[in-house]
Structure 1
């Protein structure tokens, strides 16, 4: 008998790839969302669409009754109340998998490990907030709800991705760097280029969700990220290789950036203190990540097929040109 998976969300980024992965592994799949975004599975008779607002408990219960899922993947639980409702409504499914985040960790340490690195606290005000500052605390509180539900017999688990990239990435963070590599001979990289912000290829996050649903332990959290990490400069080199081009990486220190009214934080995917997640616990379930050159090639191809350019993250090419002029005089 074929298992049925319900993906809460399922049309944009992680959810879209989760649906593809589940289909590839023989699941019947239904998606539940408000229908506010284009449905890439509208013409796919293998995917059922149930329309509704996940913050409406009645609609979520109706989706559960109509789909009768064995597995639930929750891509859009952004507030603790969402998770509270889900673990109650889906208390009898074989697996409920909540997408948390590496931002749930409160301590800066290398690497961040499940069950060892402390999670963020979450105040009542943060629990109801939509601010970026409350994102980590909200995800951490969702984790705690999952853990408590498992103690009550719910087969609930958590997956914590680091920063996610790959095809269909509407955040356009990586698109900024791909666009720079494809349109410039020289690319400014802040600092010495050795900055490390752990990233996760979206298809690997999707497979992690399925693997945890199939083999994970209720009440446990699993980090997910590329098994091989690269620095910011190495990421630019990977993009150039995938794009079949060459660029000169130019390092710019704090003083040179400030002269052009820039700072290192103006460059997306830069992070001063390294953010690294231990992924061994997930790997022990039989999961593995995609080779980086393959993941980047797919990301570049998708960028070229899209209209995304990452311009919202652009610190300003004129300002970068000023930095390059300053560095050329040194």
Structure 2
């Protein structure tokens, strides 16, 4: 299946927009966490979404002092330590609660608009020693390149005034604006905060709290058993990162004062689609039979499947094969796939029954059955 730019950018944007589940308060830390050599005062812009709570819990365990800044629209979890809450609205430029304050570190989680970085700079320039910005691999101009490093050319903004863009205009033309506005946000971060900037570019963020169901679809489907449609021949590379690995690594970057630009993708080996699915099967024990269906057939049927991107003859084939060497060199580590799948399914199983009954991504069983029947009837099978 050939993904359009709109489809791929939409997938990337969903990761940033994933909502919080208030009942989940644990970061899922695997064991005792050592204290940092020096406690930091950390300001987190956002902090109640997908990865933010993992940052908070890990930072508290490391002995840091945490301040959150957000609109206060979502209930906060019960933190395992003292967390200061400041409220404002970056949509309207209301950052008054940040004025006159200083922090060692600022982690900016939700920003997709350059003016949000500009406005933060007006209040925080000279008030924070280190600024960490969550970007995306969607900033790259040419998605066909395999092994893209952080030095690859970035998407060019097609509009007239990036500072006039809003969340509404972004949503209206996300296909053309998402990656380029993130790229301009990166540039604005350097303009406002100078050399003390860290740019983190994730791809697919997965694990507990992921409300998009992009990755959840696969272990959930494997656990159901039976004949399962698998896109491609199984060899296409898949890159994912557990939200906890991303969050904890960012806190460690703050502790070491590490600056630069980093692709935050995993794992630290080449994982194929089949390897991912067999890993899910090892955890779930699902009695599943995998039927590989060609990209051409899926294209003809106008079918999309989450996470998977064909590794050949696709405008975004390189997005499953992005270089993470620079991030690994700074200490990015990865939980085993089995841990991510186990914890994800435990979290998903704790959600209300009506939420579990209808996944937000992937094929319905009915549609999958139709496609498999058509595939088996096709001469190419």
The aligned residue for residue 198 of structure 1 is 239
Is 1:34–1:52's contact at 8 Å kept on the other side of the alignment? yes
Change (3 A) 1:126 1:18: farther
Is 1:224–1:277's contact at 8 Å kept on the other side of the alignment? no
Task: Give the C-alpha shift of residue 247 in structure 1.
Answer: 1.5
Q: CA RMSD in A?
A: 2.4
Is 1:126–1:138's contact at 8 Å kept on the other side of the alignment? no
CA distance in structure 2 between the partners assigned to 1:138 and 1:82 by the alignment: 11
CA distance in structure 2 between the partners assigned to 1:37 and 1:328 by the alignment: 48
Is 1:178–1:239's contact at 8 Å kept on the other side of the alignment? yes
The aligned residue for residue 15 of structure 2 is none
CA distance in structure 2 between the partners assigned to 1:281 and 1:256 by the alignment: 37
SS of the aligned residue for 2:276 comes to helix
Of the three residues 269, 276, 287, the one matched with 2:307 is: 269
Query: Alpha-carbon deviations, 1:73-117, whole Å to 9, x = none?
Result: 111111011112223322221211110001111123121111x21
Task: Give the C-alpha shift of residue 155 in structure 1.
Answer: 1.9
The more displaced of 82-91 and 20-29 is: 82-91
CA distance in structure 2 between the partners assigned to 1:297 and 1:315 by the alignment: 22
Of the three residues 6, 14, 18, the one matched with 2:55 is: 18
Change (3 A) 1:90 1:106: same
**Number of residue pairs matched by the alignment:** 320
Task: Give the C-alpha shift of residue 26 in structure 1.
Answer: 1.2
Give the TM-score, by structure 1 length: 0.87
SS of the aligned residue for 1:180 comes to helix
Is 1:242–1:293's contact at 8 Å kept on the other side of the alignment? yes
Of the three residues 360, 363, 371, the one matched with 1:315 is: 363
1:1-330 equivalent positions in 2, closer than 5 A: 2-41=39-78, 44-57=80-93, 59-63=94-98, 65=100, 68-92=102-126, 93-107=128-142, 108-114=144-150, 116-124=151-159, 127=162, 128=165, 129-131=169-171, 132-133=174-175, 134-150=177-193, 153=194, 155-218=196-259, 220-226=260-266, 227-254=268-295, 256-257=297-298, 261-263=301-303, 266-272=304-310, 273-275=317-319, 276-307=321-352, 308-309=355-356, 311-329=359-377, 330=381
Unaligned runs of 5+ in 1: none
Task: Give the C-alpha shift of residue 232 in structure 1.
Answer: 2.3
CA distance in structure 2 between the partners assigned to 1:112 and 1:50 by the alignment: 38
Unaligned runs of 5+ in 2: 1-37, 311-316
CA distance in structure 1 between the partners assigned to 2:148 and 2:257 by the alignment: 19
Is 1:242–1:300's contact at 8 Å kept on the other side of the alignment? no
CA distance in structure 2 between the partners assigned to 1:252 and 1:13 by the alignment: 32
CA distance in structure 2 between the partners assigned to 1:47 and 1:241 by the alignment: 39
Is 1:147–1:157's contact at 8 Å kept on the other side of the alignment? no
